[in-house]
């Protein structure tokens, strides 16, 4: 099995190529640092979907760091760029809630728009947990689509997780309640709740998410801790995904982001935009469709995969 770093590097290949090719081209043209180089750098970062403000911040930080240390060689500036990127990503370290602080079962609610990768990510994360000996339950609170429960069932089998399926049209909050109650009765460690995809503009559906979470919390009784909500976000949506994410965060407090489909995009810079603009930690990244194509996010590995 490939290491996570290899999988991440492969997943980020498109972004990495786009970014480094552009930067290297500029270094080739301007081996000694000149102002134009930092403009090129900024443009390359925008093209990688870091967002205009993050790109400007990174270019400025890189320039200041080079000036401070009297760097005159363009290639050397990449080390500074990497440090500036790592700094933005590490600013999220303090925000991330350690998931182990809760009394079992840990309850995680996965929210997001249709097709973001919620069901797939639950399958992959559940598999991770099961591999370290945790006893996992999946719950299908996606009561809109009949096929949703079946898809989750397949993942439950692969991951070795138990499953609570709902009947079509059932109240998703009731499904969440039943799932958490069942996990408590069976002494399980994790409950991963799948929800129906929804658009952030539908306020009734957004309010429903808060209701599902309350219902899960109610089922936990006074056993301490609360359900955590994780937003599953498709990296290929790039900057558009940011405003979407902000709306979800308003409706239901989002503890972290699962960023999927990094493998299919040259927009991997979105990770930096998320940290900078949303201040929500990216906890997991998806780099493919199979069960091993998801890992916990590591800022330093990410920067290395991106810039070498
Ligand atoms: N390439 C790639 N595809 C993914 C990833 N995560 C999910 N998918 C695919 O995206 C599609 C939608 O995923 P699904 O889990 O059904 O989305 P949901 O509607 O949010 O539950 C499926 O075809 C998945 O295989 C990923 O990290 N990389
Ligand atoms: Mg789904």
Cα-to-centroid distance, 142 and ligand 2 (Å): 7
104-161 pLDDT, tens digit per residue, is 899 999 999 999 999 999 999 999 999 999 999 999 998 887 788 899 999 999 999 9
For atom 10 of ligand 1, the residue with the nearest CA is 117
For atom 22 of ligand 1, the residue with the nearest CA is 117
pLDDT of residue 96: 67
Separation between Cα atoms, residue 264 and residue 148, nearest integer Å? 23
**Any residues with CB less than 8 A from the CB of 98 and at least 6 apart, and which?**
none
Which residue out of 8, 120, 270 has the highest number of ligand 1 atoms within 8 Å of its CB and is therefore the one to mutate?
120
pLDDT band at 186 (very low <50, low <70, confident <90, very high): very high
Burial class (CB in 10 A: 0-12, 13-18, 19+), 291: middle
- Sheet of 254-260: strands edge to edge? 162-164, 136-141, 190-195, 106-111, 228-234, 254-260, 282-286, 294-296
- Which structural domains are found in the chain, ordered by start? 4-90 (1.20.120.140), 99-307 (3.40.50.300)
pLDDT of residue 232: 97
Q: Whole-model pTM?
A: 0.92
55-109 pLDDT, tens digit per residue, is 999 999 999 999 999 998 888 899 999 999 999 999 888 776 655 556 789 999 9
**Any residues with CB less than 8 A from the CB of 16 and at least 6 apart, and which?**
9, 268, 305, 306, 307, 308
CA of 34: how far to CAs of 6, 25, 37, 67, 199, in Å? 34, 14, 6, 11, 46
Which residue out of 126, 209, 289 has the highest number of ligand 1 atoms within 8 Å of its CB and is therefore the one to mutate?
289
Rg (CA), the chain: 21
Cα-to-centroid distance, 234 and ligand 1 (Å): 8
Compute how many other C-beta atoms are within 10 angstroms of the C-beta atom of residue 181: 17
């Amino acid at each position: 099995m490939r290491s996570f770093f290899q999988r991440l590097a492969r997943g980020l290949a498109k972004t990495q190529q786009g970014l480094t090719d552009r930067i290297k081209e500029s270094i080739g043209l301007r081996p000694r640092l000149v102002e134009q180089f930092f403009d090129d750098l900024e443009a390359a970062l925008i093209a990688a979907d870091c967002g205009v403000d993050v790109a400007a911040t990174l270019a400025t930080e890189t320039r200041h760091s080079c000036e401070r240390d009297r760097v005159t060689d363009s290639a050397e500036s990449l080390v500074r760029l990497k440090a500036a990127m790592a700094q933005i990503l590490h600013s999220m370290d303090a925000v991330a809630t350690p998931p182990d602080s809760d009394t079992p079962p840990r309850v995680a609610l996965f929210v997001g728009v249709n097709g973001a990768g919620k069901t797939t990510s639950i399958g992959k994360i559940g598999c991770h947990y099961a591999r370290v000996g945790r006893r996992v339950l999946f719950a299908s609170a996606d009561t809109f689509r009949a096929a949703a429960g079946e898809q989750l069932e397949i993942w439950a089998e692969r991951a070795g997780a138990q499953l609570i399926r709902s009947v079509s049209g059932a109240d998703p909050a009731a499904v969440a309640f039943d799932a958490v109650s069942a996990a408590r009765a069976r002494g399980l460690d994790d409950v991963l709740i799948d929800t129906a995809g929804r658009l952030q503009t539908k306020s009734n559906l957004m309010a429903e998410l808060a209701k599902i979470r309350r219902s899960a919390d109610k089922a936990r009784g006074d056993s301490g801790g609360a359900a955590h909500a994780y937003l599953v976000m498709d990296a290929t949506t790039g900057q558009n995904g940011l405003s979407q994410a902000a709306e979800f965060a308003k409706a239901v407090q989002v503890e972290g982001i699962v960023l999927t489909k990094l493998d299919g995009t040259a927009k991997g810079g979105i990770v930096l935009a998320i940290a900078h603009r949303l201040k929500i930690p990216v906890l997991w990244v998806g780099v493919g469709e199979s069960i091993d194509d998801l890992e916990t996010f590591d800022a330093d590995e990410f920067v290395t995969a991106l810039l070498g």
